[in-house]
Amino acid sequence: MPPAGISQAPRRARKRAEGGASSNVFSMFDQSQIQEFKEAFTIMDQNRDGFIDKEDLRDTFAALGRINVKNEELEAMVKEAPGPINFTVFLTMFGEKLKGTDPEETILHAFKVFDTEGKGFVKADFIKEKLMTQADRFSEEEVKQMFAAFPPDVCGNLDYRSLCYIITHGEEKD
């Protein structure tokens, strides 16, 4: 039997390299969120080997109708991970992305500044102009992505309360 600590160090290093990091990423999410992430991971793991790689991403994009994804773009996505992307690494990556998200009340308060009548919505054109000209400016493409993910209504209004909920919770209220 090896002296105490010798056999443990490589195991800990291996765990870190595999994405097992120091804190338990599973405690960051509730069970329903973990289940949703697991379903998304399973959909993306096209070859069912337990890892998401460049070819899985290419196949996922193809399934969504985007067939001319550049190799560089796929490589950049895969390189965001510290190593092979198994489910724990996948969950950790989402946890890190969500960690910087402001609380719902903070985001709501920022929108309420522009909603002087307290209607719960603001004009999409107005928000677009503010996002592209103030502070951390959005590009035209970033604004398009936001409106594609959360389109204004037929009158051009952006329901910021629902948007804030989706930003902080990841899904629409029933």
140 & 159 share domain: yes
Q: Which three-class secondary structure string do you get for 34-90?
A: HHHHHHHHHHHCCCCCCCECHHHHHHHHHHCCCCCCCHHHHHHHHHCCCCCECHHHH
Phi, psi of 36 (to 5 degrees): -65, -45
The pLDDT of residue 2:
46
The pLDDT of residue 10:
40
114 & 78 share domain: no
Distance CA 29, CA 59 (A): 28
Could you list the pLDDT tens digit for every one of the 174 residues in the chain?
444 444 444 443 444 444 444 457 788 778 888 898 899 999 999 999 999 999 999 999 888 888 888 999 999 999 999 999 999 999 888 877 766 566 778 888 888 888 888 898 999 999 999 889 987 788 898 888 888 888 999 999 999 888 888 777 765 554
Last residue of a domain, one of 39, 72, 98: 98
**Range 84-112 burial, b when 16+ CB lie within 10 A, else e:** ebbbbbbbbbbbeeeeeeeeeeebbeebb
108 & 94 share domain: no
The pLDDT of residue 51:
96
Distance CA 20, CA 14 (A): 9
Cβ neighbors of 85 (< 8 A, separation 6 or more) are 51, 52, 53, 78, 93
State pTM to two decimals: 0.48
Q: Is 71 inside a domain boundary? A: yes
By the 8 A CB rule, do 94 and 81 touch? no
The pLDDT of residue 14:
40
Number of structural domains found in the chain: 2
87 & 70 share domain: yes
The pLDDT of residue 9:
40
* Token reading at 159: 């329901």
Q: Residue 67's domain spans which residues?
A: 31-98
Domain CATH for 148: 1.10.238.10
Residue type, 60: T
41 & 67 share domain: yes
